[in-house]
Amino acid sequence: MNELWKERVAYQIYPRSFNDSNNDGIGDIPGIIEKLDYLKDLGVGIIWLSPVYKSPQKDNGYDVSDYLDIDPLFGTLEDMDNLIKAAGKRDIKIIMDLVLNHTSDQHIWFQKSREGIEPYKDYYIWKDPKNGSYPNNWDSIFTGPAWKYDELRKQYYLHLFAEEQPDLNFHNPKVIEEIKNIMRFWLERGIYGFRCDAVNVIYKSSFKDSVTKSVRKGREYYLSQPGNHLILKELKKDVLDNYDCFTVGEAGHVDKETAHLFCDKKSKELDMIFTFDHLETHEYLVKWFRRKFKPKKFFEKLSFWQKELEWNPIFFENHDQIRSVTDLGNDKLYWQESSKMLATLLLTLKGTPFIYQGEEIGMTNANFKSLAEIEDIESLNGFKMLRKWGLPKFLAEKFILKSSRDNCRTPFQWNDDKYAGFSTTKPPLKLCDNYQRINAESQIEAKTSILNFYKQLIGLRKTEETLVKGDFTELLITNHLFAYERQYQDKSLIIIVNSSKKKQRISIKGELVLSNYKRTDFNGNLSPYEAVILRE
C-alpha cells in the first residue's frame, strides 16, 4: 500500500468552533463541507476531525455515548457520509478521532455495566472500596481522585480523565472486539484512519497504590504497559491491515525506547505518534505553571525526535494546547513574522505536518478575562486543584486563563462580521476580540499574509521532493537559531530560523528559495523572527 499520509499536509478541525451552518452558535458538519474549498485551496490533503460522535459533550465529544452515530449538534450520519464524499471529490481524506480509553458515563455499555447486566458487567474497571474508601491512591489526569463511587453498583469505577469518562476494561476481550467493530464501521464508510486518543494509557497492568509522589499517581501502572502494545498489535493485524489507512496515536510522556515500540515499522502498532516534549519545555510541574519560553530547548526537542524516529507528525498546536504564536512566537510586535517562522518549521521538518484550525491565519490566545468565560472541564478542575494547593483566587485564575485549552477553541475567525463570520448567533465560547484584524477573508486578499505564506510553503512541498522525502540533519542550535538540512538523492535544502526579536548572523550561505521577509538573496543576516529556505 502506498503511504500517501507521508506526502500530505494534515489539518485538524475542532468541529464545534470551525463553522456553523445552521446558526445555532455551534460549528457542525455541513459547516465543514462549506469550507472544503478553502481547505483545498490551502493545500490540505488530510483532515483530522475531532470527535463528532454522539456525546453529552462534557469534554467536547471526547466523552462518547454512541460511536456509531453522529451527535445532533453536529449533524447526522448522512451529513458525515456527505462530508466524506465531498472531501473525496477534492482528493481530501478524512481521519476520525478514536477515543478508546474511555466512553461517556451515558454510554449504554456503562449504564448496563452499572446494573451488572451481561455482557457489559466487566466492560469497565470496577473495584470494591478499600477500608471504606478509594480502591487505591491514583489521581485523575484531570486532577482529583481517579475513582468514583457508584451507588447503584456499590463499587468504584476508574476514570483517568473526568468522572463522566469511565475507563474501559481492556483486560476484557469483548471490549477489544467492540473497538474493532467501531473501527471497521468507519473504515467501511470511507475514512482514511484514526487519530487514537490517549492511546498509551489504555491498559492498566495493576491496581496497586502508586509510589509516585507528585501528580499523576498511578502512571507506573498505566503508561505504555506491555499489554497496551499487545492490544495495538491486535487492532493493527485484525482491522487496520485490511484497509488503506493510517493511524497517529496521542502518546504523552513517552521515552525513546517506548516510542520505537509504538511506531517503528516492524512494531506493527501505529504509523506515528504525537509526542509532546517540544511543547512542554517551559512547563513547570503542571501545565498551569509556565516558565519563560527558551527557543533552544524547543529546537533541541524537535531535533531529538527528528533524529530518533523514522517519521513524526509535526505539530505546534492542537485542541489541547494554547496558540503557538502566543506561546512560541510573539503575538504582538512580530505576530506576522513569528507566525511565518513557525509555519516554516512546521512545513519543512521531516514528517507529516498537522495544521490546527486557525494556525494558518495566526490566530492568537483568547485573552480571557475571567473564569466565567472558560468552559473546558480540565481548566475548571485545574482551578480547583490550584486553590486546594493554597493559591489565592486571583493567582489561580490568572494561571488557568493563560494556559486553558479554551485559548485555541475559540470560534474560527473567517471575516470581520459580527461573530467573525463563524455564525450569526453568539457562540457559547467567546470569540477572540482581535477577529477584525486577524481573519481569513482579509488574508486571502493580502499577498503577504500568513495564510498565503502557508500556501507558498505547502506549494513548495509539492515541487521540492526533498522537503517530503529528505533526511534530516541538524546543523546548528543556539539560544535563538535553528538550522538544519534536508537531503534527498543529490539535492539538499537548508532551513534556518531565528526565534528572537534581535537580528542574528550565521555563516551558512546558499541560494535563497523562500523567506518570510522581502528579500532577493541571503548573506547570513537574519532579521527578527526571520526564516529562510536555501538551496545548497
Among residues 491, 440, 454, 446, the alpha carbon closest in space to that of 470 is found at 491
State the minimum distance, in angstroms, from the CB of residue 509 to ligand GLC: 42
Which of 26, 239, 346, 429 is close enough to bind Ca ion by CB under 5 A?
26
- 271 makes contact, choosing from ligand GLC, Ca ion, none, with CB < 5 to 8 Å by partner type, with none
Q: Is 28 in the site for Ca ion (CB under 5 A)?
A: yes
> Which of the residues 111 through 170 are near ligand GLC (CB under 6 A)?
161
Q: Which residues, in sequence order, are CB contacts of 505 under 8 Å at separation 6+?
A: 524, 525, 526
CA angle 337, 341, 344 (to 5 degrees): 140
Cβ 267 to ligand GLC, closest distance in Å?
A: 22
Q: Which residue has the cell 523562500?
A: 514
Verify binding: residue 320, Ca ion, rule CB under 5 A: no
Q: How far is the CB of 202 from ligand GLC (least distance, A)?
A: 11
Work out which of 250, 337, 359, 397 binds ligand GLC, going by CB under 6 A: 250
Contact 290, 282 (CB under 8 A): yes
Q: Does 197 bind ligand GLC (CB under 6 A)?
A: yes
Among 24, 41, 244, 536, binds Ca ion (CB under 5 A): 24
300 is catalytic: no
Please state the separation of Cα 411 from the chain's center in Å.
17
Q: Binding partner of residue 530 among Ca ion, ligand GLC, none, CB under 5 to 8 Å per kind?
A: none
Helices (H) and strands (E) in the chain, counts: 16, 22
- Partner from ligand GLC, Ca ion, none contacting 161, C-beta within 5 to 8 A by type: ligand GLC
| Buried residues in 160-188 as b, exposed as e (16+ CB within 10 A) | bbbbbbbbbbbebeebbebbeebbeebbe
Closest CA to 279 of 318, 316, 249: 316
Q: How far apart are CA 296 and CA 44, in angstroms?
A: 30
- 95: contact with ligand GLC by CB under 6 A: no
Query: Hey, which bits of 84-192 come out as E strands?
Result: 93-99, 126-127, 147-150, 155-158
Query: Considering CB distances under 5 to 8 angstroms, the limit depending on partner class, which of Ca ion, ligand GLC, none binds residue 223?
Result: none
Binding of residue 62 to ligand GLC (CB under 6 A): yes
320 binds ligand GLC (CB under 6 A): yes
Torsion on CA atoms 276, 279, 281, 286, rounded to nearest 10: -80
Binding residues for ligand GLC, total number by CB under 6 A: 9
Question: Is 485 one of the catalytic residues?
Answer: no
Minimal CB distance residue for ligand GLC: 62
CB of 57 to ligand GLC, least distance (A): 12
Strand stretches in 209-267, DSSP E? 246-250
Please give the residue ranges that form the binding site for ligand GLC (CB under 6 A).
Answer: 59, 62, 99, 161, 197-198, 250, 319-320
- Residues labelled catalytic: 197, 250
Please give the residue ranges that form the binding site for Ca ion (CB under 5 A).
Answer: 20, 22, 24, 26, 28
